[in-house]
């Protein structure tokens, strides 16, 4: 099971500090990451996504990396309402069945206003008490949902396409 955690901040500099804290938590085995990003929105409303340097070990496999990219793209970068291709529509449908529906995406969108940022985390393990204690000093608005292992597998298979 993976946890998808989005923590919104009014201040981009605080989000970047929280992002670095999550990287430290991974090094200390408090969290096992499949994906990590800080998503910021500049004053012009343009979205920027920063991920850890390639030297940082985040994605545990190519499938996990593809799944993370897809989840991040659909949750953050795809408009909540609009016309999308059939493949992306199918993936959005799968995610909706798993709790990442338009309501969750609207909540994420509400965190990302010009001048703000969010840390987006996809983790297979989170030691809740240690994670909460480490992140408490940064504040922020927390959104969280879980992805069951069988749902992740179904998504990965859909990503791979027909053989």
Here the contacts of 155-158 (C-beta below 8 Å, separation 24 or greater) are 155/67, 155/70, 155/91, 155/94, 155/95, 155/98, 156/63, 156/66, 156/67, 158/90, 158/91, 158/94
* Residue 162 located in a structural domain: no
The kind and range of the H/E element at 126 are strand 117-126
Whole-number pLDDT of residue 150:
73
* Residue 161 located in a structural domain: no
* Residue 42 located in a structural domain: yes
* Residue 95 located in a structural domain: yes
Q: How far apart are CA 144 and CA 151, in angstroms?
A: 16
Q: Which residue has the higher pLDDT, 25 or 53?
A: 25
Residue 118: which domain range?
2-153
* Residue 163 located in a structural domain: no
Whole-number pLDDT of residue 24:
95
The kind and range of the H/E element at 34 are strand 31-41
Question: Is the pLDDT at 135 greater than 50, yes or no?
Answer: yes
* Residue 13 located in a structural domain: yes
Task: Please give the angle made by the CA atoms of 141, 144 and 149, to the nearest 5 degrees.
Answer: 165
Rounded percentage of the chain residues whose pLDDT exceeds 90 = 31
- On whether the pTM is more than 0.95, the answer is no
* Residue 116 located in a structural domain: yes
Whole-number pLDDT of residue 122:
86
* Residue 79 located in a structural domain: yes
Domain count within the chain: 1
């Amino acid at each position: 099971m993976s946890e998808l955690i989005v923590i919104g901040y009014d201040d981009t500099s605080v989000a970047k500090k929280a992002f670095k804290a999550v990287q430290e938590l991974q090094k200390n085995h408090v969290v096992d990451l499949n994906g990590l990003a800080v998503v910021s929105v500049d004053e012009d409303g343009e979205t920027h996504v920063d991920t850890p340097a390639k030297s940082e070990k985040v994605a545990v496999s190519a499938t996990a990396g593809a799944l993370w990219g897809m989840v991040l793209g659909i949750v953050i970068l795809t408009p909540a309402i609009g016309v999308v291709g059939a493949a992306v529509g199918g993936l959005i449908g799968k995610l909706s069945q798993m709790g990442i529906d338009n309501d969750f995406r609207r909540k994420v969108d509400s965190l990302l206003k010009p001048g703000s940022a969010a840390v987006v985390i996809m983790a297979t393990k989170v030691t809740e008490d240690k994670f909460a204690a480490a992140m408490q000093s940064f504040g922020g608005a927390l959104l969280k949902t879980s992805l069951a292992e069988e749902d992740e597998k179904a998504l990965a298979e859909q990503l791979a396409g027909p053989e």
